[in-house]
Amino acid sequence: MDKVDWQKKGAGHRARLRDRYLERGLDGFTDTEVLELLLSFGTPRSDCKEPARNLLKKFGSLASVLETPLTNLQEVSGVGAKNSFAISFVQAVAGRYLQQRLDGKRYLHSSSEVRKYLEHSMRGLKREVLTVIYLDSSHAIISSEIVAEGTINVNTIYPRELVKRALDKHAAAIIIAHNHPSGAIKPSPQDIGLTRSLYLICSFLQIQFLDHFIIGDGIYSFADNGMIETISRECLSMRESLNSR
């Protein structure tokens, strides 16, 4: 088969994949076919089936491929700057979509969407980041932002600065989340110390500290595991002790 015939065959195969998607969505698509189509956006004249297989073989799953930094994608045979861009771009678009879906929504009615956003934006990162979600008095979400990168603990995060940002945004409540690149979701003593410090400062400024999530191979909620309630009792006892002096 000469080059022209091969390109026609490849173009016909990709056209059939696009037609299948337009007709039925992703139902029936394999992960290889999903990646093949994404890669073809960057290199429409190339056969992307084998690079798609190579990506899955190296990284293990579609989710892992999407979470992989662009430069690491290019280490895979057949994946270059143009078609890896498509994968990186669709991941970034999905993150912005999930973030914007949260704006203005009440947390109590959309906690599952908050979890989806946090897992999407933070799982698989090679460095720790700390994200804060700001809420108003009715627990509607005002906005979210990354406020720190690197090792996340009470020594590297300045609680006063974080709370100042919350006050600047007129937030009545906050949720924080950080990731563990190791995948572990059990809170460390540093995680607990940071949560306790932030909770105490927020309580003095009448800002509700609703939860602290840890993202790894799963998601851990301080509130769901009773730790926010425990810290609340500790902080109340501390405040009462200070007031009695």
Residue 155 has pLDDT above 60, yes or no: no
CATH of the domain at 10: 1.10.150.20
Residues 133 and 90 in one domain: no
Average of pLDDT values for 79-97?
A: 85
Instruction: Determine the longest span between alpha carbons in the chain, in angstroms.
Output: 89
Domain termination site, one of 94, 128, 147 = 94
Residues 88 and 16 in one domain: yes
Domains identified in the chain, total number: 2
Residues 87 and 120 in one domain: no
Whether residue 105 is contained in a domain is answered as no
C-beta pairs of 51-54 under 8 Å, 24+ apart in sequence: 51/76, 51/77, 51/78, 51/79, 51/83, 54/78, 54/79
Residue 186 has pLDDT above 90, yes or no: yes
DSSP secondary structure letters along 201-243? HHHHTT-EEEEEEEEESEEEETTTTTHHHHHHHHHHHHHHHHH
Residues 89 and 115 in one domain: no
CATH of the domain at 148: 3.40.140.10
Whether residue 146 is contained in a domain is answered as yes
Residues 76 and 130 in one domain: no
138 residue type, one letter? S
Residue 13 has pLDDT above 80, yes or no: no
- Asked if residues 216 and 129 have their Cβ atoms less than 8 Å apart, the reply is no
Mapping DSSP to helix (H, G, I), strand (E, B) and coil, where does residue 58 land? Answer: helix
Residue 154 has pLDDT above 60, yes or no: no
pTM: 0.66
